Every structure is written in structure tokens, then in C-alpha cells.
Amino acid sequence: MLITCPYCGPRDVSEFTYQGDGNRTRPDPDSTDLGAWNRYVYDRVNIAGEHNEIWQHSGGCRMHIAITRSTTTHKISSVRAMRDAGPGAGQ
């Protein structure tokens, strides 16, 4: 699988590290709602289809990138730098 890093261009997936689900919304850091923190840390959705993910180009420029990838075909439909992904992306 190739991932196109916004800075380096197309690179083999072995240069990247999966950093997690890009769909989660992090609770307010001051929140004491243990249920919200528990859901943030442990709840995962295992979908078949388009999935938002966070990867890091750990073997290259070390940029964190937001990817939309099909979990059934591995086709990547969107790649953008986390700093450009907008509010709420990858929290």
C-alpha cells in the first residue's frame, strides 16, 4: 500500500505508523466525566468501508496526516496534513 505524504510524496506504508482512529472526539481535558473518557479510550467502531485514520510518516518527515481509507479495499481517498485537517480531526 502506498500513502502519499503531503510533504514527501508517495511512500510505502512501511514508512508510516498508524496513530489511531480519526473519528474520536476527545473530551474536554478538564472533564471529570469518566464515562466520556472511557468511551474515548476504549470504544472503537469496526466499520467495513470508508474510515478516517491518523498516521505518522515516522520513517520520513514525521508529519501526522489524516487519511480516509476503505477498510475493505485499502483505497485511500483523502490524505491531508493534520494541521490542515480542520477542527476536531483526529482528536
Residue numbers of the site for Zn ion (CB under 5 A)? Answer: 5, 7-8, 57, 60-61
SS3 label, residue 82: helix
CB nearer to Zn ion: pick between 8 and 89: 8
User: Measured from the CB of residue 31, what is the shortest distance to Zn ion in angstroms?
Assistant: 34
Residue 48's Cβ-side half-sphere holds a number of Cα atoms within 13 Å equal to 1
Kindly give the pairing relationship between strand 9-12 and strand 50-56: unpaired
User: Measured from the CB of residue 62, what is the shortest distance to Zn ion in angstroms?
Assistant: 7
User: Measured from the CB of residue 67, what is the shortest distance to Zn ion in angstroms?
Assistant: 13
